[in-house]
Structure 1
Amino acid sequence: MNDDLELVRGSGNAFQDFGHEGAGLLQARALLAARIVRTLDDRGLSTREAARLTGIAHSEFSRIRNARLARFSLDRLITILGRLDTTVEVNVTFRKRQAVIRDGAPA
Structure 2
Amino acid sequence: MRQEQIFEKSSGNVFADIGLEDADELLTRGKIGIQVIRLLKKRHLKQDKISEILNISPSEVSHLMNGEFQRFSEGKLLYFLKRLDIEITLHRV
Q: Do these two structures clear the TM 0.5 threshold for a shared fold by scoring above it?
A: yes
* 8 Å Cα contact 1:47/1:59 also seen in 2: no
Provide the aligned length of Structure 1 versus Structure 2.
Answer: 93
Write the mapping of 1:39-54 to structure 2, written as runs, cut at 5 A: 39-54=39-54
Whose relative contact order is higher, 1 or 2, with alpha carbons under 8 Å and at least 6 apart?
2
Q: Which has the higher mean CA deviation after the structures are superposed, 7-16 or 67-76? A: 67-76
Q: Which has the higher mean CA deviation after the structures are superposed, 52-61 or 24-33? A: 52-61
Give the % identical residues. 30
**1 or 2, which has the higher helix percentage?**
2
Write the mapping of 1:13-92 to structure 2, written as runs, cut at 5 A: 13-92=13-92
- C-alpha displacement at 1:72, in angstroms? 1.3
Distance 1:16 1:73 in 2: 19
- C-alpha displacement at 1:71, in angstroms? 3.0
Task: Name the CA shift for 1:54/1:70 in 2 (closer, same or farther; >3 Å).
Answer: closer
Structure with larger Rg: 1
Question: What TM-score, normalized by structure 2, do the two folds share?
Answer: 0.86
Distance 2:72 2:64 in 1: 9
